[in-house]
Structure 1
């Protein structure tokens, strides 16, 4: 006599038996059928599987065959009800946060949650189409600002679209979509932003007006190096070689929503650089260091539990607050604006001092490659594209220089005999 438990085992074993290439097909205790198949591997190399349910074995086998055909054709999308907003949240935490700087992550997060999620976040990821993104682009250009008063710049919208492209590129790798629909969207035309930094005379007027300011050494070094604001305010004395007359960019000061003022590594490999500085800036740095040492002594300190604790919070910063703490970049920029006003100069952004440094060097005949290395641009193409507005004048100078070396003898005239 066959035991009932043995009959159940035989039935279960028969249910688990698979046809060739079918994947795993079995009947559940409730009578329904389940089919599972491996559709690839995730970023860690682990198998990714899909599961289908049905009332009969042929029903789940049909679903499995359809999935297998779509995989072969490259059109397979996992049967998921994940929305665009859900995938954006996953992408931010899983893929973006571990690989980019905190300030960059926060900018990604703000752009996606403020501009993308409210418009297309409710759409299922697998149902997202190019027209959804095209409408998003058009809307942002027309009235995309948070206050709805006007549209975003073409540059910002292009950046948002590129960010969506990254999000969907990862979704494609995960098998959540069968194509990156961002590739099919018409991008706003790139508008060349005309850079109009202070002229050499205006820069001299600015520096003279700033002569009595606490920030004069920082402004003078900016004129001499073209550092980014964060690089200037993150500069440490250990990164300054007063003997050789050079500074090295090794860190940057940034502000983040979650941590406030914090230090981070330079933006790119090219941003880590050493820049020789002119004698005027070197002399001022030496005097600045002497004054800073005096400030440390004047601040004094107090004895706590028998230990002397100085009031100066030494972060080894070249440019900082009077107590040694990092300087608020916004406050520093405000001081810059006040001196511009005092000197009667047009209002420009502090970043334009960086542009002024590059423009001045190019007009003085310096090779663009040298300018690229001083600025920390990733490629010389970026430098040339940024300062193309002054290249026509340089081309004319180059043409004139060619004439100075030309020495062609006059063609002799033929006499009739």
Structure 2
């Protein structure tokens, strides 16, 4: 039974799945039927707020009739009213960018009720011709499918037209791995660098750039020789009007639970971290009261988080010095490749890297597996060897 509603709330009730639903009636259509709008939320208050917002918009004459609602307007509503609270800041930024830069210029003007599968399919095909990767097109598809799925739930459209489209085949991305000789050149180029330890840890643990910059000393156990990964540092677009900045640095949780993990440290990396800790304490003493202690393992000389862009500037200067052409992620790929080359089990590599599924690990590092399989076969080769000496005596 619906809970008694407050003023101007419409009908609000709890659904069997635990979420809340609310409906309001705003006059009648030309055919005499009632105009009804439906809203969903995780709490009763969330639904009540959405209803009040819709009523205020209606009274101000700016509420759009469902039949006149464009894809561009709906995507904005879907992203900021339905998805924002459940998305990581970096994902919100990605969605907003794809909508603004790719989807709306091509499809935003279509009314939802007029949008057809061929409109979406042509859009995908054109984006591929423009040079967008199949992976990005699939990401756009995921976004559109989610937005239109919600539109179906809200009875704005009868079907999700993205379900009738065909996605491009995914191309396997080539990965760059340092050779053993290049790895030595890279390590030599680190000598004298203030952030030498950061790049050694990246190469010795496979940490992503954001994970490296978010690492705190309370998640480093130098005695046991382990680090715990719990979050990452990202620079994202600012959607808070109260903050007068276009972008902000934020710490965020991993995408999946597998991203939270404990990684063992090789002895050389432990010693490097000990030396780095000493230098950092000296910097803290030198800076005095202006030092901002965030307990970060890798911070600026004043203790503040290092902007990912600044770390990359240092990285590219180092690889230029070493005469190597790689990106930062190649350090992670190199780490994983070295483990597999040493016959480490792929399941162990998956857990250390924080991949949700072992299939991801196997697909990315399939170039190493033939040699690993060959080495495995050689381990049982002796079982098939005939003892020629005994054979001759018979």
Taking structure 1 as the reference length, the TM-score comes to: 0.76
In the alignment, what sits opposite 1:335? Answer: 314
| Structure 2 gap segments, 5+ residues each | 1-13, 36-64, 239-246
Cα deviation per residue 1:251-302 (whole Å; 9 max; x = unaligned)? 21110121511212222211111111010000111111111111111122xx
Among 103, 115, 119, the residue aligned to 2:90: 103
Contact residue 234 and residue 251 of structure 1 kept, 8 A: yes
Alpha-carbon distance in 1 for matches of 2:313, 2:66:
54
SS in 2 for 1:388: coil
Please tell me whether Structure 1 or Structure 2 has the larger radius of gyration of its CA atoms.
Answer: 1
In the alignment, what sits opposite 2:266? Answer: 278
5 Å matches for 1:29-48? 44-47=20-23
Alpha-carbon distance in 2 for matches of 1:171, 1:249:
38
SS in 2 for 1:98: helix
In the alignment, what sits opposite 1:289? Answer: 277
Alpha-carbon distance in 2 for matches of 1:44, 1:262:
31
Distance 1:284 1:50, change over 3 A: same
2:257 aligned with 1:269: yes
2:71 aligned with 1:84: yes
2:345 aligned with 1:373: no
Distance 1:159 1:54, change over 3 A: closer
In the alignment, what sits opposite 1:404? Answer: 382
1:141 CA drift (Å): 1.6
Alpha-carbon distance in 2 for matches of 1:60, 1:216:
71
1:46 CA drift (Å): 3.2
2:185 aligned with 1:197: no
Alpha-carbon distance in 1 for matches of 2:121, 2:255:
31
SS in 1 for 2:260: coil
Alpha-carbon distance in 2 for matches of 1:174, 1:130:
20
In the alignment, what sits opposite 1:323? Answer: 302
1:45 CA drift (Å): 3.0
In the alignment, what sits opposite 2:46? Answer: none
In the alignment, what sits opposite 1:66? Answer: none
Question: RMSD of the alignment, in Å?
Answer: 2.8
Contact residue 125 and residue 177 of structure 1 kept, 8 A: yes
In the alignment, what sits opposite 2:118? Answer: 131
1:232 CA drift (Å): 0.2
Which region of structure 1 is more displaced relative to structure 2, 350-359 or 154-163? 154-163
In the alignment, what sits opposite 2:47? Answer: none
1:155 CA drift (Å): 1.8
Contact residue 270 and residue 376 of structure 1 kept, 8 A: yes
Among 115, 140, 153, the residue aligned to 1:173: 153
5 Å matches for 1:223-302? 223-258=203-238, 259-300=247-288
Alpha-carbon distance in 1 for matches of 2:145, 2:211:
30
Which region of structure 1 is more displaced relative to structure 2, 275-284 or 197-206? 197-206
1:52 CA drift (Å): 5.3
Contact residue 235 and residue 318 of structure 1 kept, 8 A: yes
Contact residue 252 and residue 263 of structure 1 kept, 8 A: yes
SS in 2 for 1:117: helix
Alpha-carbon distance in 2 for matches of 1:251, 1:326:
13
Alpha-carbon distance in 1 for matches of 2:310, 2:117:
43
Contact residue 230 and residue 254 of structure 1 kept, 8 A: yes
Taking structure 2 as the reference length, the TM-score comes to: 0.81
Alpha-carbon distance in 1 for matches of 2:235, 2:257:
21
5 Å matches for 1:210-229? 210-229=190-209
1:186 CA drift (Å): 1.8
1:188 CA drift (Å): 1.7
Alpha-carbon distance in 2 for matches of 1:344, 1:141:
34
2:362 aligned with 1:384: yes
Contact residue 200 and residue 360 of structure 1 kept, 8 A: no
In the alignment, what sits opposite 2:51? Answer: none
1:395 CA drift (Å): 2.0
1:409 CA drift (Å): 6.8
| Structure 1 gap segments, 5+ residues each | 1-39, 64-77, 144-150, 301-309
1:54 CA drift (Å): 5.3
Distance 1:325 1:54, change over 3 A: closer
Alpha-carbon distance in 1 for matches of 2:134, 2:144:
15
1:408 CA drift (Å): 6.1
